[in-house]
Amino acid sequence: RRLNRRPPVTLLDVFREHVRRRPRWPLILFQEEVYTYEDVDRRSNQAARLLARRLGLEPGQTVAVFLPNHPTYVWTWLALAKLGCPMACLNCNVRGRALQHALAAAGATIVLSSPGE
């Protein structure tokens, strides 16, 4: 039903509504760390500002994300959504030709990765 609305309700819209209604509710439990909706919103806003300033990201610019399973992935995804940048999710276990193919298919102009990747 939400997708049939005009304009459709996105996951970013749903996230923002949760931030508004339940800012201190836990969203992510990673190892011993708990991140609330408010925490994730703040970190994704910081990431969005950083990505826009340092990389000059503009709405519509596709970004390939090559990150491991970590909370950083969540706020990176939200930051890109807030900037209006499509995100090409790359499996961080893929290497060689499969990775080259994924990058080419994504059509991304920027790749974000962790130092270990």
CATH number, position 17? 3.40.50.980
Query: 38-75: per-residue pLDDT in tens?
Result: 999 999 999 999 999 999 999 999 999 999 889 999 99
Domain contains 4: no
The pair of structure tokens assigned to 97 is 């030709």
Domain count, the chain: 1
Residue 103: predicted pLDDT? 87
**Residue range(s) defining the domain that contains residue 57:** 11-113
The answer on pLDDT for 109 being more than 90 is no
Residues 51-54: contacts with CB under 8 Å, at least 24 apart: 51/79, 51/80, 51/83, 51/85, 52/83
Instruction: Identify whether 35 is part of a domain.
Output: yes
pLDDT (0 to 100) of residue 75: 95
Domain-embedded: residue 45: yes
Q: Which residue has the higher pLDDT, 94 or 77?
A: 77
Q: Does 2 score more than 90 pLDDT?
A: no
Return the pLDDT at 81. 97
